[in-house]
Structure 1
Amino acid sequence: MRLDGVLFFPVTPFDPDGALAEPTLARHVSQGVAAGPGAVFAACGTGEFNALDLEEYTRVVSTAVTATAGRVPVFAGTGGPLPTARTLARAAAAEGADGLLVMPPYLVNGPISGLVRYVREVAAAGELPTVVYQRGTARFTPEAVATLAAEVPNIVGFKDGLGDFDLLQRIILTVRRTTTKPFTFFNGLPTAELTMPAYRGIGVNLYSSAVFAFAPEISLAFHKAVTGGDEGMVRRLLTGFYLPLVELRDLVPGYAVSLVKAGVRLRGLDVGGVRAPLVDPIEEHVRVLEGLIEVGLEIANT
């Protein structure tokens, strides 16, 4: 399965009582797909995967698949304890997802052989095209990724959330040397646009875009500029929008998710707040975000 374009990571809406708001999710996904992403990644980091129980997760994936209506692929996040990850992978397949994103097994530090076994077992449970996410405790060696790519037919991609370019380049070269099957690498750092010029320097052109969830106009303008070689527009968007957004994001742990939700609310769709341990941004920061969106839209429309 070939991924291309901007990858859309929708938020998971909650109602005022904190329950999953499926109609709002359907609207959020439908509006996002209409804007033209390359794929939808539901119930992943931006979608508060960590905060959903099995029944909620199943409903999120089902709603995303229905709202997308086959227009682009839908990938679902899976991870956590191995039995849970396998259960979620099977649930995603049953609900019609097109692929899986294997999230890191946070706070568990095992040897690389154990991490490889974990990914193998999750991929086998879902029997779907699977992307491996390198982030946190999930740090892979070049040989480990090459082994997974060569020996597990449905492992089709690698999402990098570390930003270690030396390691990533060695992973890419080792995988390309080991197997000729199609295998996709993409930038999965928070606010990935900020680092895309560097990733493109080592041949990684695909990236996830949290900004697409609340300002697809800005996200698509950046994608057009960075893929079309419009360095002036890339610089204006990075300087005027993405850099101050990252500076705002870094003020509070978890803002990489809660600011996205706040952005969706600012654009007119009430998706509720985040679940603990995340916190919603304070009013002062919401006002800053609102101003940044205005600036970003102005730049995107020039």
Structure 2
Amino acid sequence: MDFDRDRLSTVQLVPPTPFSPDGQAILPEVLEDFLRTVHHKGIRVVLPGAGTGEFHSLTASEVVSCVQAARKAMGREGIVVAPIGLGLHHALETGKGAIEVGADALLVMPPVHPYLSDSGVRDYFDFLMKKLPKPFLVYKKGPFPSDDLLVELGASDQFIGVKYAVNDLDAFTRFAAKVGGQLGLYCGTAERYAPFFHLAGATGYTSGAGNLCPRLTLAMHQALVEGRYQEAMRLLALLRPIEDGRARSADSYNISLLKTGLSLLGRDFGPPRPPQRQVTEQEAWEIKRLLDPILVAEAALDH
């Protein structure tokens, strides 16, 4: 397929989805305005409505609306990767709608079905790739799809990359050696693990922290690309409190911390939808204290 995979070798931002105060409606215009801002600050790849965008709480039409808002915000120089997943009907409906509104590629989210096997997952991918004529990436967050199946799928020109979110660096290193540049490889567990995945063969990483401090995480990625590892680790140390905070209690602050942080920046993204965690007033104060020095460092790069 005619797609420049190298354009994905950067920070891939996963924005939260803004909701109305009661959480019932999404607000695409808020997302579009926000993404225009981060695009101005250097972000070039976005995954609207994906994991941090509460994919599993969104309808297919809501995901498509997020993709459309992102397309408007990013212009033609940005890359918009649309998430698809859940049942085949949901995945197909979302994928068709996302393509219609301008998605550049599709990301197959981790399967949540019980009784999984590589055989069944292969059928799932084959069906979607035949029906949806766009480049495909896969979000690996568990044993299925296996690394062997991903190598097999990589024989197709349509399958272009893997968002690898299993923090087993030895397994990832072996996988990177097997695909040998055949697939784009991206760290799916954000800044805390990005330097180590980079050394093992990843060329980019997904980010939630970049919603709050895009310049800091872009600077960290650039340092990795240029082999300035001491600087990359210095920047990671600045960013790490965000990721450590999001990871508390089995990653259950992943979305709510970012939405709280955005509200401190004057951007009201509304509450997370249940069953995502809500934050208490005390927790919001703790998040503000955690973010203050990071936002000062980000502001220094703005200038």
Q: Same fold (TM over 0.5)?
A: yes
Kept in 2: contact 1:218–1:297 (CA 8 A): no
- 1:100-127 CA-to-partner distances (Å, cap 9, x unmatched) read 0100111423221211221222222221
Kept in 2: contact 1:187–1:204 (CA 8 A): yes
AA of the residue aligned to 1:146? V
State the partner residue of 1:274. 272
- 1:51-102 CA-to-partner distances (Å, cap 9, x unmatched) read 1112222211212112222121111000001221122111111121111010
User: Is 1:249 the counterpart of 2:246 in the alignment?
Assistant: yes
**How big is the shift at 1:299?**
4.2
State the partner residue of 2:165. 161
State the partner residue of 2:130. 124
Change (3 A) 1:299 1:213: closer
SS for the counterpart of 1:186 is strand
Mapping 1:284-295, distance limit 5 Å: 284-295=282-293
**How big is the shift at 1:140?**
1.3
SS for the counterpart of 2:154 is helix
AA of the residue aligned to 1:286? A
State the partner residue of 1:186. 186
State the partner residue of 1:171. 175
User: Is 1:7 the counterpart of 2:4 in the alignment?
Assistant: no
SS for the counterpart of 1:71 is coil
Structure 1: unaligned runs, 5 residues or longer: none
Kept in 1: contact 2:41–2:214 (CA 8 A): yes
Kept in 2: contact 1:211–1:218 (CA 8 A): no
Kept in 1: contact 2:176–2:201 (CA 8 A): no
User: Is 1:56 the counterpart of 2:56 in the alignment?
Assistant: no
Question: 2-side partners of 1:80 and 1:208: how far apart?
Answer: 21
Change (3 A) 1:188 1:213: same
SS for the counterpart of 1:238 is helix
AA of the residue aligned to 1:164? D
AA of the residue aligned to 2:166? L
Change (3 A) 1:212 1:66: same
Matching residue within 74, 84, 94 for 1:88? 94
State the partner residue of 2:22. 17
User: Is 1:296 the counterpart of 2:298 in the alignment?
Assistant: no
Kept in 1: contact 2:82–2:98 (CA 8 A): yes
Question: 2-side partners of 1:29 and 1:138: how far apart?
Answer: 32
Change (3 A) 1:134 1:95: same
Kept in 1: contact 2:44–2:74 (CA 8 A): no
TM-score computed with the length of structure 2 as normaliser: 0.89
Mapping 1:22-101, distance limit 5 Å: 22-101=28-107
Kept in 1: contact 2:70–2:80 (CA 8 A): yes
Kept in 1: contact 2:135–2:160 (CA 8 A): yes
Kept in 2: contact 1:6–1:208 (CA 8 A): yes
SS for the counterpart of 2:53 is coil
State the partner residue of 1:233. 231
Aligned residues: 293
Kept in 2: contact 1:119–1:132 (CA 8 A): no
State the partner residue of 2:257. 259
- 1:208-246 CA-to-partner distances (Å, cap 9, x unmatched) read 11111122132223223333344443333333440x333
TM-score computed with the length of structure 1 as normaliser: 0.89
State the partner residue of 2:146. 140
Kept in 2: contact 1:14–1:271 (CA 8 A): yes
Structure 2: unaligned runs, 5 residues or longer: none
Give RMSD over aligned pairs. 2.0
Question: 1-side partners of 2:51 and 2:193: how far apart?
Answer: 19
- 1:32-69 CA-to-partner distances (Å, cap 9, x unmatched) read 21111231111110111111112222211212112222
Change (3 A) 1:236 1:285: farther
**How big is the shift at 1:13?**
0.4
Q: Percent identity?
A: 29
- 1:119-169 CA-to-partner distances (Å, cap 9, x unmatched) read 222222221111011013534133x1121110x321100110111222222
SS for the counterpart of 1:168 is helix
Kept in 1: contact 2:198–2:224 (CA 8 A): no
AA of the residue aligned to 1:73? I
